[in-house]
Structure 1
């Protein structure tokens, strides 16, 4: 899979560190997923946007706005459209499976009698760890690999 670059603006980092973390996390996550979708489209077409080549099998035809509900909130994603045929991605299926697994794990804990306080603490630890990764790792790396 091709390398995926992600650049964060100063205001996004500021928002993440000092402001509304949920909003910042949604913005960053949407950017990451949009980059992955564009990369998958490039892979399927076998050419970058506006690139002319003999290997090109199709061409882009704009995008559709789709919403994906995640733990960080509802993300607005730009799913590429192709001129001939359909764009297919595994991203949504994978993400839905991980979200389902998370939801099922939470339900199982409650069914097994784990207190809601303990469940909430475990969830907050996971969210906190994700925040730490974004705060410390992402700014130190110019690009992300998909």
Structure 2
């Protein structure tokens, strides 16, 4: 059985290419539910997908989900902040614009992460306000 799966993953036949794309595309089988909650505890938005969101809203949702998932995995028991919160990103914002980079950094900081970034020189001015925090 494993040999057949490996064969299909390496095959260039059309039917196998379609199968591989469907199997490896997490949008086909991973679902999520995200709630935007204001400071008063009221749900202001409910997301079951990124459908209907603008590009910027979609990007923010992705970064927020990533930060929330990392915080969930790194936080021990009922603590509100992870005990070890260093996130290492290698060229994560290389193709991002300044607005998106700032928004993403704000989300990571809000979740209590210490960021270690390997980034191209063109982004140094954008991330400078976050250095030394």
| TM-score with structure 1 setting the length | 0.31
Greater fraction helix: 1
Which structure is higher in RCO with an 8 Å CA cutoff and minimum separation 6? Answer: 1
| TM-score with structure 2 setting the length | 0.33
